[in-house]
Amino acid sequence: MDIAATLTTDETESLGNTTDSLETTTRRLLESGAGSFAHTQSPFETCLRLKNTLDVAERKASTTPSWQNLAVLLRCEYMLYVLNEGTALRHNPFLSHWVETIQRLERSTTPPKSPPTYVPSQTTSVLNLSVIYAVRVGVLKSMLESYSAAGFAQLSPEGIYKEYCEGRWGTSFEARKYIEMLEEEGIYETKPSDARAPAPEPTVEKGKGALTEQAKLNSRQQWKQDILGRLENDRDSAVSELTHLPIELSHLDFLTTLLQDQILQQFSIEPDPVIRDYLQHALRLAEEMGQPPGSVENVSSEGTNGVLMEATDGTDYGRTAQVRAVKLLLLFIRNLIRKALLPPEAIYFEIQEICVRYVWIKEVREFRVFIEEGGAVEQTST
């Protein structure tokens, strides 16, 4: 799947119709079962194409505002909402997009002091950009506040514009409650001023905590030495353990070191398949984290020597744990690409899965831009 794919030219032209109702166009495209709306394609893939088309339409509108651009923008937003209407709003993968769009467009232009006089599209092809933004923002606010897109289903883009000109929409909108949803779901980080007071640190017997940390450090070092030894004497066992490590920073650092110091190559082990297999395992773990404990079969991460491999029983669950795991994987992949330790094409499908499955995470969207721009490779001095 191409994560940058948009709707076809014919599909986009269909969205640019100014007179058909939003529901009519949506039903016609969905029932066609062809192109971007093929029944073999997942709804999320269709939504991703809609979102990419939306971005293209916004760029076009910024330079050449037109009725067609307004129609494409409104229909794309409407279809994104309708296709995800069965998902609770706080879990909707496009909630962050809508909130950020409202805030961004309201900052980028000064809205008209009063709605303009309605002029039919047949009379003029000229639309002011600030009006296009205001209409789009008004539709998004209305859908979010009413938890429904039904109010616009029977309206055409021109009909929506007419209602805007007639001042039929209320202006009440509290972005904060949606931001709080995103914070509670771990999609946005909670601001320090909003964070709760930290819990008191647990008390431990004097010297006991230091001994425990030292024991962990010794255990970790022993595990690393064991892995290095088995890479030489029991390669299959060592590689299997490396590709089933938990998603923890210390393990990701160790994998990076193996590539950076070319340790795997010293034992005639190709690094690309090892990292690819690990990422596939890590993505299964991340997916499991998003589900309640016991709802899926646990993915074992237990090593052959039992050291530092207790993640199966201690795995955190919930959206926060899942977001943390994905962020760690992004950091890991970025580091490998920037240091030219692994070509992006070697893990193409894993990158695609992250960018599609976790597009609702802000850092994933930033990572997608990083990948599309080719990834910045560090220049090493000689």
Q: How far apart are CA 332 and CA 254, in angstroms?
A: 11
Sign of the dihedral through C-alpha 180, 181, 186, 188: negative
Q: What is the 3-state secondary structure (H, E, C) of 325-347?
A: HHHHHHHHHHHHHHCCCCCHHHH
Supply 54's token pair.
Answer: 């939306």
Distance (Å, rounded) from C-alpha 120 to C-alpha 221?
A: 74
Dist CA 25 CA 31 (whole Å): 10
- What residue spans define the domains of the chain? 9-184, 216-372
Contact 291, 281 (CB under 8 A): no
Two tokens, residue 132: 């296009």
Q: Cα(50)–Cα(22) distance, rounded to whole angstroms?
A: 14
**Residue 306 DSSP symbol:** -
Instruction: List, as one string, the DSSP characters of 5-66.
Output: ----HHHHHHHT-SSS-HHHHHHHHHHH--GGG-TTS-HHHHHHHHHHHHHHHHHHHHHS--
Q: Which among 318, 307, 306, 309 has a CA at the least distance from the CA of 281? A: 309
Q: Name the DSSP class of 187.
A: S
Please give the chain's pLDDT, 382 residues, in tens.
566 788 999 999 999 998 999 999 999 998 887 777 877 677 778 888 899 899 999 999 989 999 999 999 999 999 999 998 888 888 888 888 899 999 999 887 776 666 777 777 655 556 888 889 989 999 999 999 888 888 889 999 999 999 888 877 766 788 899 998 888 877 776 654 444 444 444 444 445 554 455 555 567 778 888 888 889 888 899 999 999 999 988 889 899 999 989 999 998 999 999 999 999 999 999 888 876 555 444 444 444 443 333 344 445 667 888 888 999 999 999 989 988 999 999 999 999 889 888 888 888 988 988 888 876 555 544 4
Angle at 196 between CA 190 and CA 201, to 5 degrees: 115
Which token pair is 59?
């760029």
Residue 46 pLDDT: 86
Phi first, then psi, for residue 114 (nearest 5°) are: -145, 150
Please give the structure tokens belonging to residue 237: 């066992």
Q: Which of 58, 64, 66 is nearest to 17 (CA)?
A: 66
- Per-residue tokens: 130: 């600030």
Q: Which residues of 158-187 are buried (b: 16+ CB within 10 A; e: fewer)?
A: bebbbbbbeeebeeebeeeebbebbeebbb
Sign of CA dihedral 339, 345, 350, 355: positive
What tokens were used for 380?
């090493």
